[in-house]
Structure 1
Amino acid sequence: MPVAALRRAVRESVSGLPREFWWLWTSTLVNRLGAFVATFMALYLTLGRGYSASYAGLVASLHGLGGVISSLVAGVMTDRLGRRPTLLIAQSSTAVSVALLGFMHDPVAIAAVAFLVGMASNASRPAVQAMMADIVRPEDRVRAFSLNYWAINLGFAVSAMGAGFIAKYSYLAGFLIEAAMTMACAIVVFVKLPESRPTRISKGSAEEVGLGTVLRDGRFMSVVGLSFLVAVIFQQGSVGLPVAMGRAGFTPADYGLAVAVNGFLIVALQLPVTRFIERRDPRQLLIVSSLLAGYGFGLTAFAGSVAVFALTVCVWTMAEIVNAPVQTGLVVRLSPTHGRGRYQGMYTLSWAVAALIAPLMSGLVIDRFGAKWLWGMCAVVGMVAAAGYALLMRRLPAQEKAGETARETTEVTAAKTDAATAEAGAEAAVNRV
């Protein structure tokens, strides 16, 4: 009976999604399975090349800076060129730049190519998220984003283990394997994924969307700001936590054991939790997940053993499982159909900037005030984010509270009206196409 129930749960989790989604999901999984470089970059530079930790940190910052820049550029490309061309450019550029990085020896060249890798590897995210929004029904989007997030974490868990094994024998092999697998993703996109960008019948059917439009959208930019706060909290799992545990006398193996709970729980619980939350109010879910994230890291101040550290990881991992798909779904709901790339690019920017700032912030706080201040700040930031979501959701119009369907129905109706007008020979409408 439990086996039958499990099969039914899995079937309900994966049923009803279009075939194009599964090819995109496969591309994501393969991409993350080959993500070796991000895992062992610091070890490669310090142990493999003999550079200092400061230089390794500089390279990591340049890699992050490349991601910050590409978030906006890729968002514009996604809307102008299309989802498929942007994915092809991003993934093929990532494959070439990662392979090139493996052959670099000069420190300036390594830093420059790492910056290019950061740009190329981050450029696919707005296109992937926009394409998922295009091809998946509004009522299935939270489930689709959850499945994609599950694939990311499953791939990362496997690649992290593989990276350690490969690094023992050849760092260059890791670079070349990642390049090959990323190129395989580009081939999957080229062969199996058609362009999904909505076709605009006339400019009157949808308002022109530029980066200025996104920046003037106060409600959406509020979401971006809140996303940044939550992202800074989550970044502490890979930034502040290892430093704090090391200062407290714990070994790298202790940190690895505690943080491994994060990946295990995501792989084990992402799908069942998604089935539980996908029909629930996203406002409440975002408020609760923000509080769980803040308090989860806040509880780290009281941890004195690996078991307690692992328990705190459980708390903020549950926040991550809930926040990731719901937040992405909210971004899609607030994005106009013909501006999804730019809106997703701005949302991705919030995470890229958090990845750039969090290491500097956590190091400064730990050095000057101690780790307990960092964890207390995380709890406060989580409460601020929760309050922000509560205020933001209160301001949402009633039609948007019903979900994305009403918005898209209106756009389709407008498009049909424009088409009818064009067929009737309305010269002004024709000239605006």
Structure 2
Amino acid sequence: MRALRRWLDDTVGGLPATFWYLWAGLLINRAGAFAMLFLSLYLTEARGASEALTGTVVGAYGLGGAAGVLLGGVLADRWGRRATLLAAHLGTAGLMAALAFSRHLAVIAALAALVGVAHSMPSPAFVAAIVDVVPEQRRSRAFNLQFWAFNLGMAVASLLAGLLAEASFVALFLVDAAATLAAAAVIGWKVPETLTRVRAAGPTERGGRATRQRRVRAPGLHTALTDRTFLVFVGLTFVLAVLTMQTSTIMPLAMRADGLRPSAYGAVVALGGLLIVVGQLFVPRLIDRHRKHHVLAVSTGLLAAGFAALAVADELAVYLAAAVVWTIGQMLAAPPNAQINADLAPPELRARYQSVFYLAFPAASFVAPTLGGVSLQYLGDRHWLIVGGLGLLAAGCHLLTGPARDRRVAALRFAQAPARTPAPVR
């Protein structure tokens, strides 16, 4: 019993109430956010699009997301975290309802791009709000719980979506819109604004003379976009995202080519979510004693092995076994990836760095289906060998670049540490 209490305290203790409301909003959103997972199947089965055209339309979603993360980062610093989250969730709900009743591929592609914008806007605001309210020593646990909630919701969504897709694709989009509205209600009701604003004061009286304080302005995105150490890490995160995006963009097409039904795809995604729900809370104790770049190298290697195994997959059992391998890789990668991102960002540039970091995911959402659809169509199962080779290359790069990241984080912490007053000379 004492061991259980100690584990619970280490895992979930010491986190503020605002974090848990953010966590609840994310969980509700993810539990119903399954429409874009099945967009490729919707286009091929309901709209008769080819694999290459499907990849292009799904890629429009990723292209819109690239603009969305930058917009979300800027708005999170200007409007505030809460306002950005509410605007993005309400916009997503309306766009999903429009997608439910759209029939022309051009309209669907345009709406997919706009959904990409709205879906990606909350990411910098969510993480910036978590960093705003969670003490530094608890952030790794908070990010681990965030990833756990995301995948718990995805597991629920995938089980329901596989059944709904066989009954009605329209229902997919409408349930997604309803879940997004529910998440917006939680955020609007319980999440306060976490951004600390620096107000520009007008003339003030000091000693009988009027003085004017200067407005403090945060630097622009160019600082993050020219930070080489940070950009190398973002590039490796992009490769990680390209690998993980295979499950929602290219793998459904491969399973369809093997004669498997949408419910089989839902089972594979649900298995991954279930493994994360069961095991993710134990990951911090497993990896905390290891250096972050070593953990990322191992996790990326597991992702590479799992997807390379799909080159010989033609039955559901093989897909499920491969999913176990790449899911373990995802579980190990989530906490150090988020923690390194937070550590590399100067406090005054938090949302800007988050927006640049999250560019990796919409960029992967564009590249993975656009190139992957063509690759699968013309290379067949060899596509998965290419994906595996890319993952192994990224694993090696983590080992090479990790020490430089560690030195950069140490330098930032030293610069942020309060200056020590020298002892008086006697």
Q: Same fold (TM over 0.5)?
A: yes
Cα distance change on mapping 1:162 and 1:309 into 2, 3 Å? closer
Instruction: String of CA shifts for 1:292-349, please: whole Å, max 9, x gaps.
Output: 2223323444557544443332221111011122111111110111222121111111
Matched with 1:382 is 391
CA contact 1:198–1:337 (8 Å) conserved in 2: no
Cα distance change on mapping 1:252 and 1:325 into 2, 3 Å? same
Give SS of 1:152's match. helix
Matched with 1:160 is 158
Residue identity (%): 38
Instruction: String of CA shifts for 1:11-37, please: whole Å, max 9, x gaps.
Output: 431111111100000010111112142
User: TM-score, normalising length from structure 2?
Assistant: 0.84
1:334 aligns with 2:332: no
1:394 aligns with 2:403: yes
Matched with 1:423 is none
Matched with 1:180 is 178
Give SS of 1:396's match. helix
For these two proteins, the number of residue pairs brought into alignment is 407
Distance 1:180 1:222 in 2: 38
User: Superposition pairs for residues 218-297 of structure 1, below 5 Å?
Assistant: 218-245=228-255, 255-278=265-288, 280-297=290-307
- Supply the AA of the counterpart residue of 2:353: Y
Matched with 1:324 is 334
- Supply the AA of the counterpart residue of 1:214: A
- Segments ≥4 residues shifted beyond 6 Å: 201-207
| Offset at residue 88 of structure 1 (A) | 1.5
Matched with 1:127 is 125
Distance 2:65 2:315 in 1: 35
1:114 aligns with 2:124: no
CA contact 2:162–2:265 (8 Å) conserved in 1: no
Distance 2:239 2:250 in 1: 15
Distance 2:137 2:275 in 1: 25
- Supply the AA of the counterpart residue of 1:72: L
Give SS of 2:281's match. helix
Distance 1:244 1:171 in 2: 20
CA contact 2:41–2:252 (8 Å) conserved in 1: no
CA contact 1:365–1:374 (8 Å) conserved in 2: yes
Larger deviation, residues 361-370 vs 147-156: 361-370
Matched with 1:356 is 366
- Supply the AA of the counterpart residue of 1:336: P
Cα distance change on mapping 1:235 and 1:173 into 2, 3 Å? closer
1:310 aligns with 2:307: no
Cα distance change on mapping 1:319 and 1:407 into 2, 3 Å? farther
CA contact 2:306–2:325 (8 Å) conserved in 1: yes
Q: Over the residues paired in the alignment, what is the CA RMSD in angstroms?
A: 3.2
Which of 185, 188, 192 does residue 190 from structure 1 map onto? 188
Larger deviation, residues 225-234 vs 52-61: 52-61
Distance 1:194 1:294 in 2: 41
CA contact 2:159–2:270 (8 Å) conserved in 1: no
Instruction: String of CA shifts for 1:134-164, please: whole Å, max 9, x gaps.
Output: 1112222121111111111111121222234
| Offset at residue 395 of structure 1 (A) | 1.7
CA contact 2:21–2:186 (8 Å) conserved in 1: yes
Distance 2:272 2:164 in 1: 23
Distance 1:274 1:300 in 2: 29
Matched with 2:203 is none
- Supply the AA of the counterpart residue of 2:340: L
Which of 49, 59, 66 does residue 52 from structure 1 map onto? 49
Which of 36, 39, 43 does residue 38 from structure 1 map onto? 36
Distance 1:380 1:106 in 2: 37
Cα distance change on mapping 1:57 and 1:306 into 2, 3 Å? closer
Distance 2:214 2:340 in 1: 25
Matched with 1:430 is none
Which of 12, 20, 30 does residue 18 from structure 2 map onto? 20
- Supply the AA of the counterpart residue of 1:385: A
- Supply the AA of the counterpart residue of 2:155: A
User: Superposition pairs for residues 46-125 of structure 1, below 5 Å?
Assistant: 46-48=44-46, 50-53=47-50, 56-125=54-123
Gaps in structure 2 of 5+ consecutive residues: 201-212, 421-426
CA contact 1:235–1:354 (8 Å) conserved in 2: yes
User: TM-score, normalising length from structure 1?
Assistant: 0.83
